[in-house]
Structure 1
Amino acid sequence: MPNSISIENLDGFSEDFNKDRANIIAANATMKNGILEAATDYKGVRNIPNSFSVDLKTGKITNQKSSGRCWIFSALNTFRFEIMKKYKLDNFELSQNYIFFYDKLEKANYFLESVLKTVDEPVDGRLYSFLNAGPLADGGQWDMFANLVRKYGVVPKEVYPDAASATNSRWMDEMVTSKLREFAITLRNKALSGEAETALQKEKTAMLNDIYRMLVISLGEPPKTFDMTLRDKDDKVYQENGITPKEFYDKYVGINLDNLVSLVNAPAENKPMNKMYTVKFLGNVVEGEPVHYLNLPIDKLKEAVINQLKDGHPVWFGSDCIKFSGRKDGVFDRDSVKAEQLFNIEYAFTKGDRLMYGDSAMNHAMVILGVNINNEGKADRWRIENSWGKDAGLDGYYIASDSWFDEFVYQVVVDKKYLDKETLGLLDQPLIELEPWDPLGSLAD
């Protein structure tokens, strides 16, 4: 049949493959070492130096381990930088487990509220199926993190260290998610039978009590107050007794979250530039600020990032960390990870096409700590702090080429003061709502 793969086709494919010596060498190298290692171009790696004209120093590399908490780790890493700088500390770490706990609890409530809002949707329809697929996913976005901090504050890691279910979250997620889906059936049925809103909310609160118990058993109960002692490089001591997490944030971190804005570069045909966007049913804290972004050309993102770095502050960002990622050498660079050369193909996607057709989206959040500005005044590489531990990359750090930044960085969070007047004016526009499955709604994990 002309629409099937014939034996003659297979013979032709094999003959074409084996007549080219480069194919045999590529297969031998890849079979032994794996795709990324076989695709690594040593000249490309050598051509991306580990030195930067703007370079911020931070503490020890953190490790999210087998969990999807990169968005929490990277955000808290920007916070700890400010604490270390202000109090002259060699190292400091904030509790990722603390934010993780409340994110799970708030996501449970957000999901059950979404169930009540969609009782008229068919269970097998696209919307409900999407909401039901991963109501308690580990990943998140910047605005979700900011909402948690506004509501709950932060605590030092020593006050609420990682539990086993934080470093490997699969089974906790599995068991809590199953209970949430069961609760969803109950709420839907009662809502469809005409039960009053007050009764439904009372029922939901009882359900959340069960979820809280499951989370405390898995992660431990978060502190409401705590004692703390900090000693700086000059042996000056800062001591607190009975401080709350919100008081600690205000006093020791002190970043005004309302001044931070999320900029994205999504050059897709269905997302005009210089517009504000949000995504339906994307969030965690029901009463919190909606997830929102300003879509700008990539040069505008870079300009804001460089301004913030030069002023001595790191930048949270989201990217596709899978594409052209040389994890062993600590590089994100198309010229260093030559998968196209290895397979003798070419990826001709535009950035917008990758987004539109599901080939790429933000999937990981990290911190930009540095940039190299060349003699022409242009950025040519970026220094990145990751949260995969010190054994990944270059002692936990990565270098991204500027061309990789262009293609695979999707989101940065910067202070408004680093934006020009024209860009600031764009922030006041009404939000354009995107569907829940839009790639801008993908979670960093």
Structure 2
Amino acid sequence: MNKEINNQNLSKFKSDLQQTAQNEVLKNAVNNLGVKKVAQQFSDSHLDDTFSLELETGSVSNQKRSGRCWLFSTLTNLRTEFAKEYKVKDFELSQNYLSFYDRLEKANFFFKNVIETAHLPKTDRKVALVFQYANDDGGQWQYSANLVKKYGVVPSYVMPETYNSENTSEFSSVISTFLRKKGIELRSLIANKANDEEISNFIAENMSEVYRICVYAFGEPVQNFDLMIRDDDKKIIEEKNLTPKSFFEKYFDMNLDDYVSIMNTSQEGKEFNKTYTIETQGNIVGMTDEKFLNKPIERLKELAIKQMQAGETVWFGNDVGAQSLRKEGVLAGELFNYDAVFDIDTNMNKANRLDTREGEVSHAMVLTGVNIDNEKPTKWKVENSWGEKVGNKGYFVMDDKWFEEFVYEVVINKKYLTDEEIEQFNEEPIVLPGWDAMA
């Protein structure tokens, strides 16, 4: 039917509805209980919190009302390493410290994108995307790696969270509005044939303003600090006059350059064993761009297990809103059966979900355990960053079906890849547009 809905159509719809006796029962159930409650078919008998491989971790962090899951997950990996090495179980690094520099660097990256797209009309899709995401708190694994390499890290007590770091929408609105206005002015300068010095001065002047705005919102980052923490044996770890970079270099063994992003998508045009990057995306001018090696989902599982078997947690990107129970901390591939409720067919494969934006890479978390039965994973332990009031004190349980359907990326040390896979990763990446589903 490709015409307007008329009374004849409505009469037919109503007649069709009345043909099935249980429609009245289902209508009452859905009306009173809601779609998800009626559709839930999950039994948690196979998703208890016992795993054959489980890494020792501490209390979960809480990103509050912010989109910094990618940063929290990276710092979770780092603090887990620190806790293991120095016996400080619930040690936490400052997310706010890196959040400050992330927003500052993203402003500079925005100006770079404005310059590179200044020859295009404002109506161009790429230009629209650059201005749409002028400055927000979303990100990827490589964003956090870039930040740590450039700025180091500090303990949470050195630069604690502020209202704005935990509730980012107000700040994001102000800084984005400011940058959009300055972006339009920059495009006008370029259109009027401004020279390189004039453009450079314009950006420097406005970046100083961005710095001031960030200080108001997040506080000013420290240049030096004193380390003083008590380990689990009540012994004090103390060192004076550290810089954030010297602290990272001295107290953390993780070489962030050793880690690569392995993604999984079977979308048309995205071949396995090829590398990809996303145009206009990034957070620091002059640092490493995000790069993905596309592999079958079984390979992502194998690599994640290898890394955990070696005692190291795994950063992973996923679609946390799909087939999940937030309060209970359950991620199950067949948690809700909407088709049975409405007598419809909504089944789509992973590629089609991404193509239609039914699926998206919406969240990052950390794998901290897995249960293996007959050499196959059956369920996974997940450390989230939503605080201790969800799941089992913040930890989720994910069944293997959910991994297959809704996990899109794992970050893996290159030493677990084959020589062939390393060669594949080192190839020149295929550039995807900024609006790609994997962005």
Q: TM-score, structure 1 length as denominator? A: 0.95
Name the CA distance, whole Å, in 2 between partners of 1:193 and 1:392. 55
Report deviation, 1:199.
1.7
Name the CA distance, whole Å, in 2 between partners of 1:326 and 1:27. 23
Letter in 2 for 1:402: D
**1:209-238 superposed Cα distances (whole Å, 9 cap, x missing partner):** 111111110111111111121221223221
Q: Specify the alignment match of 1:367 in structure 2.
A: 366
- The answer to whether the 8 A contact 1:279-1:434 is kept is yes
Within the candidate set 423, 427, 432, 2:425 is matched to 427
Q: Specify the alignment match of 1:36 in structure 2.
A: 36
Report deviation, 1:21.
5.1
Q: Specify the alignment match of 1:418 in structure 2.
A: 416
Name the CA distance, whole Å, in 2 between partners of 1:29 and 1:57. 43
- The answer to whether the 8 A contact 1:83-1:253 is kept is yes
C-alpha distance 193-404 of structure 1, shift in aligned 2 (>3 A): same
Letter in 2 for 1:142: W
SS in 2 for 1:440: coil
SS in 1 for 2:93: coil
Letter in 1 for 2:120: E
Deviates more, 1:143-152 or 1:230-239: 230-239
- The answer to whether the 8 A contact 1:40-1:326 is kept is no
Report deviation, 1:241.
1.5
C-alpha distance 153-171 of structure 1, shift in aligned 2 (>3 A): same
Report deviation, 1:56.
1.3
Letter in 2 for 1:74: S
Number of residue-to-residue matches in the alignment: 439
Q: Specify the alignment match of 1:405 in structure 2.
A: 403
Quick one: percent identity of the two aligned structures?
39
**1:68-126 superposed Cα distances (whole Å, 9 cap, x missing partner):** 11111111111110011111122111111111111100000000111111111101111
Name the CA distance, whole Å, in 2 between partners of 1:358 and 1:262. 21
Name the CA distance, whole Å, in 1 between partners of 2:88 and 2:2. 70
Q: Specify the alignment match of 2:3 in structure 1.
A: 3
Equivalent residues in 2 for 1:274-289, closer than 5 Å: 274-289=273-288
Deviates more, 1:13-22 or 1:418-427: 13-22
C-alpha distance 42-223 of structure 1, shift in aligned 2 (>3 A): same
Name the CA distance, whole Å, in 2 between partners of 1:271 and 1:42. 33
Name the CA distance, whole Å, in 2 between partners of 1:56 and 1:102. 31
SS in 2 for 1:60: coil
CA RMSD of aligned residues (A): 1.7
- The answer to whether the 8 A contact 1:41-1:338 is kept is yes
**1:173-210 superposed Cα distances (whole Å, 9 cap, x missing partner):** 10111110111121111111111112211110110111
Q: Specify the alignment match of 1:236 in structure 2.
A: 235
Deviates more, 1:1-10 or 1:118-127: 1-10
Name the CA distance, whole Å, in 2 between partners of 1:385 and 1:343. 34
State yes or no: 1:384 paired with 2:387.
no
SS in 2 for 1:240: strand
Deviates more, 1:171-180 or 1:337-346: 337-346
Within the candidate set 434, 437, 442, 2:435 is matched to 437
Name the CA distance, whole Å, in 1 between partners of 2:307 and 2:89. 22
- The answer to whether the 8 A contact 1:283-1:291 is kept is yes
- The answer to whether the 8 A contact 1:324-1:339 is kept is no
C-alpha distance 223-26 of structure 1, shift in aligned 2 (>3 A): farther
- The answer to whether the 8 A contact 1:36-1:326 is kept is no
**1:355-378 superposed Cα distances (whole Å, 9 cap, x missing partner):** 22222121100001111101x210
SS in 2 for 1:414: strand
Equivalent residues in 2 for 1:81-160, closer than 5 Å: 81-160=80-159
Letter in 1 for 2:433: E
Letter in 1 for 2:332: D
Name the CA distance, whole Å, in 1 between partners of 2:328 and 2:16. 33
SS in 2 for 1:199: helix
Report deviation, 1:340.
2.9
SS in 2 for 1:370: strand
Name the CA distance, whole Å, in 2 between partners of 1:356 and 1:399. 27
C-alpha distance 95-29 of structure 1, shift in aligned 2 (>3 A): farther
Letter in 2 for 1:231: R
Q: Specify the alignment match of 2:257 in structure 1.
A: 258
- The answer to whether the 8 A contact 1:324-1:338 is kept is no
SS in 2 for 1:439: coil
Q: Specify the alignment match of 1:324 in structure 2.
A: 323
- The answer to whether the 8 A contact 2:333-2:405 is kept is no
- The answer to whether the 8 A contact 2:42-2:334 is kept is no
**1:148-182 superposed Cα distances (whole Å, 9 cap, x missing partner):** 11100111111111110111111111011111011
Equivalent residues in 2 for 1:65-80, closer than 5 Å: 65-80=64-79
**1:40-78 superposed Cα distances (whole Å, 9 cap, x missing partner):** 2243x2232321111112111211111111111111111
Letter in 2 for 1:203: F
State yes or no: 1:58 paired with 2:57.
yes
Q: Specify the alignment match of 1:306 in structure 2.
A: 305
Name the CA distance, whole Å, in 2 between partners of 1:150 and 1:292. 17
Report deviation, 1:18.
5.1
SS in 1 for 2:304: helix
Report deviation, 1:19.
4.9
- The answer to whether the 8 A contact 1:262-1:412 is kept is yes
Report deviation, 1:297.
0.8
Structure 2 unmatched runs, 5+: none
Name the CA distance, whole Å, in 2 between partners of 1:21 and 1:236. 71
- The answer to whether the 8 A contact 1:118-1:128 is kept is yes
Deviates more, 1:186-195 or 1:391-400: 391-400
SS in 1 for 2:358: coil
Name the CA distance, whole Å, in 1 between partners of 2:66 and 2:31. 29
- The answer to whether the 8 A contact 2:51-2:370 is kept is yes
SS in 2 for 1:188: helix
SS in 2 for 1:194: coil
